[in-house]
Amino acid sequence: MPLFMDIHRSIPEGADAQMLEHAHQADLKVQDKYNTNYLNYWFDAEDGRIFCLVEAPDAESAQAVHRESHGLVADEIYPVAQG
């Protein structure tokens, strides 16, 4: 299945590690509905960005998971290949 990295540049004010963990868990609860597999996420607190790594049939499916689970859709999604 294709692999994607998404970038969230517009995160809620005051976002912290606990909030992001809750959002990730929400993604995991609905990911099967869209045939996706959210693998990991990273938080750049200094620049206020979140990165998510997901296996998905397409970028739209990955966005649908975020939209349904917590509403924080990515600003950009890139197809990537593991090296």
- Provide the domain count of the chain: 1
Are 41 and 7 in contact by the 8 Å Cβ rule? The answer is no
Q: Is the pLDDT of residue 83 over 90?
A: no
What is the length of the chain? 83
pLDDT at residue 10, rounded to an integer: 79
- 7 lies in which domain range? 3-80
Which has the higher per-residue pLDDT, 13 or 52?
A: 52
Q: What is the pLDDT of residues 5-48, one digit of tens each?
A: 999 997 778 888 899 999 999 999 999 999 999 999 999 988 88
Nearest to 58 by CA among 36, 32, 33: 36
- Distance CA(36)–CA(16), nearest Å, equals 25
Instruction: State the pLDDT confidence band at 78, using cuts at 50, 70 and 90.
Output: very high
Averaged pLDDT for residues 64-80: 96
Nearest to 82 by CA among 21, 49, 39, 34: 39
